[in-house]
Structure 1
Amino acid sequence: MPSRLLVLSNGHGEDLIALRILEALREQQPDCQLTVMALVGLGQTYAAAEAAGWLQVVGPRRCLPSGGFSNQSLRGLLRDLRAGLPLLSLRQWRWVRHWGRAGHPVLAVGDLLPLLLAWSGGGPYGFVGTPKSDATWATPPPPGWGRPGLDDRYHRCKGSEWDPWEWALMRADPCRLVAVRDRLTARGLRNHGVAALAPGNPMMDGFQTEAVPIGLRHGRRLLLLPGSRLPEALGNLERLLEAALQVRVNGPLHLLLACGNQPTSAELAPLLSRAGFSSTCLSAEQGAIGARDSWRAGTIELHVGPGCFGRWAAWCELGLATAGTATEQLVGLGVPALSLPGPGPQFKPGFARRQSRLLGGAVLPCHTAAELARTATRWLDDAELRQRLGTMGRRRMGPAGGSQRLAKLITQHLLA
């Protein structure tokens, strides 16, 4: 049995999914040497596992201007090309080629880029296709966001959101495993000769439900998800706060800002001050919540919690989001969300429209901060609507347990 596995991931969300799979694989195959290559960014998601010594991060890494979303605009692609994308891709390909020629298996997590690299390595490989779902084009666009276009007809004609060149890579002899996010998508691929499986969605693993703390039980609770990429996340947060300050509720309003190590307190302070918030001393109750900083604007309390998303998500009644993976996880927990697309490079109108369709309307994009505030006020007053949207979100994301099932499949098809 091979004792080594290389995992390729191409983005922050893909890094999170890959880490969940690797954690499960480590439990099932403790003797397997686990190695990852982050194709986009610096792979900070893997830092704790690497520091603990059970995971090795290899290969060249670089932060590109588009944050890995050069496929969303020509300008983003040109900026990435000027920043050294061709040389970075060439160095990554050489690394994977060396690994594949040694006969070691590769697991690609993401879309075409890691799949193509895994195939080019020349050795056995598997693929976990994370971003595409046939539920997207099978769901109408949200109201006010246009009608189905040519891309919908193109996917409907193919019967799959994956493209013919991707089918070819998934059907290739060295490809031992193809796993996608839902049964509908797997069925579409099987119609084109791809032995695709739908073992579950690793994005829904690792969450623990806790009772809402006493300090948050009085008033309404909104989760703010501005995204993880700077400087885009700061601009997103400024627009989300503009909307949150216009939400009308009876009593206090608790805003829980879930973020990573960035933005830092120093980066957030001027933005929050401009929005009308004043810093407050952390109380014992706020400390129990897990907040790093707390701010106040009238009857609105804002708590900043790096790394608190997994704990805070289930406490909230509604999300205000400009994030990718975190938004999907939130609605998968049964909490509907409203989004507010901006200039990008990630959370642009096209991305928000697609995300809403993917999640069956459990997240609804808004055109302006005022529209988002009005919709949030209406949704907070309608518990039945929130419950119905939450049920749809759970259905589209699927139950927990996908990581364990994927780890077993990897052992059977790649490591055996």
Structure 2
Amino acid sequence: MLLISNGHGEDLITLRIIEALRNQRPQLTLKVLPLVGTGGSFKAAIEKGWVQQVGPSAPLPSGGFSNQSLRGLLADLFAGLPLLTWQQWRCLRKHRSEVGAVLAVGDLLPLLMAWGSGRPFGFVGTPKSDYTWCSGPGRDLSDRYHALKGSEWDPWEWLLMRNERCRLVVTRDRLTARGLRKHGVRAEAPGNPMMDGLSNATAPASLTRCRRILLLCGSRMPEAERNFSRLLLGLAPLPSDRPIAVLVALGSTAGLQSLGSELKRQGFQSSPPPSDALQAGACWLKGHVLVLLGPGQFDLWAPWAEVGVATAGTATEQLVGLGIPALSLPGKGPQFTQGFAKRQSRLLGGAVRSCQSSHELNTRLNQLLEDSSLRLQMGRRGRERMGPAGGSEAIAKRVLIQLPLGRGY
């Protein structure tokens, strides 16, 4: 089977499904075609021989968010997006005879690729939810357009999902599946794979006396660097009755040096971590505030936090799905813009609240740290919207039943 994904968050979801497929049918040959970025999320799985990566790949200036702004789209076009997409399309056509079926994870582009393969296909629609337009206040043109359709998905997408070769359509929640079924799409919502693979460990002893804040600045440089600086400014001042531990979960080591330079500029000094159990890549100290930089530590650190501050997509959704409320601070993008933050907050039922300035972020953060009942209330909404773990296994079962994966593939 060939799995197609189009973004960092989609790659992680695809990886969870791959792990579940291997658990249920170890002999299945799996190939992956990441349409955005270099597919770094699959590196360990490739080294273990679980999956083969095919097709050309390249990082794009927008990080896969060219649909968020005209500037991002133009940057991707000048960086060679049309040629890259054409090469990926040719690769897909070349490999289609080697697979029994295709599974697309993401939105329109992977869905279109799967349809164009000519093979039976399934679709896991990860980014769109009807909660974004029917939950909470919203009367702009986009909301009215979706309300008129009765679905976040568009008519051309319904057409592809209704194709006779499309054997499986999975959405992230039941509300969205219900909206698609009204348009003749046999959609279902067996579970959300975003919540799989996360730890539920409590904070180690070295952090139990600290107020714990998880900082998520995103995975795409240089936007993540700009957002890190703004989020860090929003943390000061914080209550000084207890030490503050700011856990900065990073996607990779790529930004360690630049983030360290920003911390130094804001008056922090490099320091040894208080414990090896923290698995921090670097540690910085300023007064009663301890900042830990942790490449690849999100899964471990997320359940330790009391509150999150974020300019991230998938990671923020996972955090509130653990019952931890978050505050966001929109920037210039290309990913985390005002529009993105608004949609995210509505998608998550207010479990993440968007702030308009660093001052507002600081005020709301102090309020959350002092009000445990508010933290519980927001956290409960996040758990409800994201659902429990186990989605990857449920999706894998449906893939094995509904897609034609015989013939030794």
- Fold agreement, TM-score > 0.5: yes
Alpha-carbon deviation of 1:75? 1.5
Alpha-carbon deviation of 1:249? 4.8
Query: 1:396 maps to what in 2?
Result: 385
Please give the alpha-carbon distance, in whole angstroms, between the structure 2 residues aligned to 1:127 and 1:162: 13
Alpha-carbon deviation of 1:101? 4.8
Cα pair 1:101 1:122 within 8 Å, conserved? no
Query: 1:175 maps to what in 2?
Result: 166
One-letter amino acid of the structure 2 residue matched with residue 205 of structure 1: D
Choose from 318, 323, 327 the match for 1:334: 323
Query: 1:27 maps to what in 2?
Result: 23
Does residue 402 of structure 2 align to residue 406 of structure 1?
no
Query: 1:310 maps to what in 2?
Result: 299
Cα pair 2:225 2:255 within 8 Å, conserved? no
Query: 1:15 maps to what in 2?
Result: 11
Please give the alpha-carbon distance, in whole angstroms, between the structure 1 residues aligned to 2:320 and 2:39: 25
Q: Which runs of 5+ in 2 are unaligned?
A: none
Cα pair 1:106 1:126 within 8 Å, conserved? yes
Please give the alpha-carbon distance, in whole angstroms, between the structure 2 residues aligned to 1:272 and 1:238: 8
TM-score with structure 2 setting the length? 0.97
Q: Which runs of 5+ in 1 are unaligned?
A: 142-146
Choose from 95, 99, 117 the match for 2:95: 99
Query: 1:294 maps to what in 2?
Result: 283
CA offsets per residue over residues 193-250 of structure 1, 9 Å max, x none?
A: 0000101000000122112211111121100000001111111100010011223352
Alpha-carbon deviation of 1:259? 0.6
Please give the alpha-carbon distance, in whole angstroms, between the structure 2 residues aligned to 1:90 and 1:101: 19
Choose from 350, 357, 367 the match for 1:378: 367
Does residue 157 of structure 2 align to residue 160 of structure 1?
no
Please give the alpha-carbon distance, in whole angstroms, between the structure 1 residues aligned to 2:354 and 2:254: 24
One-letter amino acid of the structure 1 residue matched with residue 207 of structure 2: L
Alpha-carbon deviation of 1:85? 0.8
Give the ranges of 4+ consecutive aligned residues of structure 1 lying more than 4 Å apart after TM superposition: none
Does residue 128 of structure 2 align to residue 128 of structure 1?
no
Alpha-carbon deviation of 1:270? 1.0
Does residue 35 of structure 2 align to residue 39 of structure 1?
yes
Please give the alpha-carbon distance, in whole angstroms, between the structure 2 residues aligned to 1:255 and 1:266: 17
Choose from 246, 271, 280 the match for 2:237: 246
One-letter amino acid of the structure 2 residue matched with residue 218 of structure 1: R
Query: 2:84 maps to what in 1?
Result: 88
Rate the CA distance shift 1:111–1:249 in 2: closer, same or farther, 3 A: farther
Alpha-carbon deviation of 1:265? 3.1
Query: 2:332 maps to what in 1?
Result: 343
Aligned-CA RMSD value? 1.2
Equivalenced residue count is 405
Cα pair 1:98 1:121 within 8 Å, conserved? no
Query: 1:256 maps to what in 2?
Result: 247
Please give the alpha-carbon distance, in whole angstroms, between the structure 2 residues aligned to 1:401 and 1:293: 33
Rate the CA distance shift 1:26–1:103 in 2: closer, same or farther, 3 A: closer
Cα pair 1:101 1:121 within 8 Å, conserved? no
Please give the alpha-carbon distance, in whole angstroms, between the structure 1 residues aligned to 2:105 and 2:286: 42
Query: 1:186 maps to what in 2?
Result: 177
Choose from 255, 258, 271 the match for 1:267: 258
Cα pair 1:201 1:400 within 8 Å, conserved? yes
Does residue 186 of structure 2 align to residue 195 of structure 1?
yes
Does residue 267 of structure 2 align to residue 276 of structure 1?
yes
Cα pair 2:228 2:259 within 8 Å, conserved? no
Choose from 37, 49, 62 the match for 2:58: 62
CA offsets per residue over residues 27-46 of structure 1, 9 Å max, x none?
A: 11111111101100000000
Please give the alpha-carbon distance, in whole angstroms, between the structure 2 residues aligned to 1:137 and 1:262: 36
Q: How does 1:105-124 map to 2 (within 5 A)?
A: 105-124=101-120
Alpha-carbon deviation of 1:79? 1.3
Query: 2:73 maps to what in 1?
Result: 77
One-letter amino acid of the structure 2 residue matched with residue 381 of structure 1: E
Query: 1:360 maps to what in 2?
Result: 349
Please give the alpha-carbon distance, in whole angstroms, between the structure 1 residues aligned to 2:240 and 2:376: 19
Cα pair 2:2 2:99 within 8 Å, conserved? no
Cα pair 1:219 1:250 within 8 Å, conserved? no
One-letter amino acid of the structure 2 residue matched with residue 245 of structure 1: A
Alpha-carbon deviation of 1:272? 0.8
